[in-house]
């Protein structure tokens, strides 16, 4: 055996060891994928991947090899993500609306590999997850233009699901018509009430009548089914593709920063590690106050005293108790730290009810 073959023999032995380690790693990926399915988490966790590679680089003694190690590990991460995606293809994700609606767009953005299934309303999607029909639901919680989605907030308060991910979808309203229809033929526009409101300036400028529909995608479906070419819809570009309509005018809405936030809700809570310090940790709380003076000030002061920055504070009426309200707080920070746990204990002492609705990054 010549010297080259001798050296190749050493590489072959290492390759054999790497093959065994590769199989072990992919089996571990299967367990990670199962956890992500249960907790409705995305396949890609960029922060985690960066941390793993950074720790591994520290073990490379030869500085010349470090950049090659990073390249090697990036390939390993891509392979792991591809395998996890394949394992999660059977995941069932519920949304409210029809294909092409913003809920459908959000569900596909959160889980592009999963089977997304339409539900007639928010409650059907939410309770379907509780009953095990679906793995998770993707439902809207807030629009930057119109505010919170009360029906979903109420489900979160009364239900048992947890928010483990938040997805943002930019809302772009477009004028959709049947093929070949021109602007001067339009007499009436159909869409969801919020979309009509957000495009009110454009509608008034053209002197059109309006017709409110249950959602933007259903409005597009309605227009596609009509013989009357004077009716147009306001909806997304994706909706036009679904129902065979043309986009006559794009971005006809007044507000240019119109975004809807969707919560990914699952049966199992996913708490961050107490050591996580990415700076992107957030949590959501819902609570009711005691019937006494200063009842709301106390929990807000506790949040401030523990240096958690509130990004959202809302109140909603409790339908079963007239003139009683529950409160929703969304804040920045890691609730799993000792500071976060201390805060929760203090809040429990001053609130009538308190619920950790979810955590996300």
Residues 231, 185: Cα–Cα separation, whole Å = 8
**Residues 319 and 154: beta-carbon distance below 8 Å:** yes
Helix axes 122-130 and 150-158, enclosed angle (nearest 10): 20
Find the largest Cα–Cα distance for the chain: 90
**CATH number for the segment(s) 22-87:** 1.20.59
**Percent of the chain that is helix, strand, coil (3-state, to 5):** 45, 25, 30
**CATH number for the segment(s) 271-361:** 3.30.70.260
Residue 319 three-state SS: coil
- Taking the alpha carbons of 206, 211, 215, 220 in that order, is the dihedral positive or negative? negative
Strand locations in 196-273, DSSP E? 209-213, 231-235, 246-249, 259-266
Q: Which CATH superfamily is domain 174-252 in?
A: Periplasmic binding protein-like II (3.40.190.10)
Residue ranges, CATH 1.20.59, the chain: 22-87
What integer pLDDT is reported at residue 28 of this predicted model?
92
| 260 strand-pairing partners | 143, 169
Q: How many residues does this entry show for the chain?
A: 361
Between β-strands 259-266 and 309-317, what pairing exists: parallel, antiparallel or unpaired? unpaired
Please provide residue 136's backbone torsions phi and psi, each rounded to the nearest 5 degrees: -160, 170
Query: What would the mean pLDDT of 230-252 be, rounded to a whole number?
Result: 95
- pLDDT above 90: residue 90: no
- pLDDT band for 1, please (50, 70, 90 cuts): low
> Which residues, other chains included, contact 74 with Cβ-Cβ below 8 Å and sequence gap of 6+?
53
Residues 107, 96: Cα–Cα separation, whole Å = 10
Average pLDDT over all residues of the chain: 92
Residues 242, 99: Cα–Cα separation, whole Å = 7
Query: What would the mean pLDDT of 133-141 be, rounded to a whole number?
Result: 95
Residue ranges, CATH 3.40.190.10, the chain: 174-252
Please report, rounded to a whole number, the percentage of residues in the chain having pLDDT higher than 70: 100
- CA distances from residue 67 to 58, 63, 64, 75 in whole angstroms, order as listed: 12, 8, 7, 13
Tokens standing for 141?
């919680």
Residues 50, 46: Cα–Cα separation, whole Å = 6
Query: What would the mean pLDDT of 270-277 be, rounded to a whole number?
Result: 86
Cα 157-160-162 angle, rounded to 5 deg:
85
Tokens standing for 45?
């966790």
Tokens standing for 132?
């095990």
- pLDDT above 80: residue 320: no
Q: Which among 138, 172, 122 has a CA at the least distance from the CA of 42?
A: 138
Residues 191, 175: Cα–Cα separation, whole Å = 10
> Which residues, other chains included, contact 49 with Cβ-Cβ below 8 Å and sequence gap of 6+?
77
Residue 93 three-state SS: strand
Cα 296-297-299 angle, rounded to 5 deg:
75
- Convert the pLDDT of each residue in 163-212 to its tens digit: 999 999 999 999 999 999 999 999 999 999 889 999 999 999 999 999 99
DSSP H helix total and E strand total for the chain: 12, 15
As to burial, measured by CB atoms within 10 angstroms (0-12 exposed, 13-18 middle, 19+ buried), residue 179 is exposed
Lowest mean pLDDT among 5-9, 81-85, 241-245: 5-9
What integer pLDDT is reported at residue 40 of this predicted model?
87
Q: What is the value of pTM for the model shown?
A: 0.82
Residue ranges, CATH 3.30.70.260, the chain: 271-361
């Amino acid at each position: 055996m010549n010297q080259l073959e001798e050296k190749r023999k050493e590489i072959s032995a290492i390759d054999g060891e790497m093959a065994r380690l590769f199989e072990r790693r992919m089996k571990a990926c299967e367990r990670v994928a199962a956890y992500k399915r249960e907790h409705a988490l995305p396949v890609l966790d960029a922060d985690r991947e960066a941390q793993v590679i950074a720790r591994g680089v520290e073990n490379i003694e030869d500085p010349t090899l470090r950049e090659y190690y990073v390249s090697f590990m990036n390939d390993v991460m891509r392979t792991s993500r591809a395998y996890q995606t394949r394992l999660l293809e059977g995941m069932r994700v519920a949304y409210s609306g029809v294909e092409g609606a913003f809920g459908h767009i959000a569900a596909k953005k959160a889980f592009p590999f999963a089977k997304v299934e339409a539900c007639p309303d928010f409650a059907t999607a939410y309770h379907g997850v509780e009953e095990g029909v679906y793995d998770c639901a993707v439902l809207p919680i807030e629009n930057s233009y119109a505010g919170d989605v009360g029906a979903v907030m109420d489900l979160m308060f009364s239900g048992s699901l947890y928010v483990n991910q938040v997805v943002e979808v930019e809302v772009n309203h477009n004028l959709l018509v049947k093929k070949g229809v021109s602007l001067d033929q339009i007499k009436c526009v159909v869409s969801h009430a919020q979309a009509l409101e957000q495009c009110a300036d454009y509608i008034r400028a053209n002197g059109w009548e309006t017709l409110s529909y249950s959602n933007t995608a259903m409005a597009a479906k309605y227009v596609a089914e009509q013989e009357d070419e004077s009716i147009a819809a306001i909806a997304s570009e994706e909706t036009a593709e679904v129902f065979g309509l043309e986009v006559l005018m794009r971005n006809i809405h007044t507000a240019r920063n119109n975004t809807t936030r969707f919560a990914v809700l699952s049966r199992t809570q996913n708490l961050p590690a107490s050591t996580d310090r990415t700076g992107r940790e957030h949590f959501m709380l819902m609570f009711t106050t005691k019937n006494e003076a200063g009842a709301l000030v106390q929990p807000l002061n506790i949040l401030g005293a523990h240096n958690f920055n509130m990004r959202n504070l809302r109140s909603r009426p409790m339908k079963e108790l007239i003139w009683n309200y529950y409160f929703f707080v969304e804040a920045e920070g890691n609730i799993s730290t000792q500071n976060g746990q201390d805060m929760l204990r203090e809040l429990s002492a001053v609130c009538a009810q308190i619920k950790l609705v979810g955590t996300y990054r």
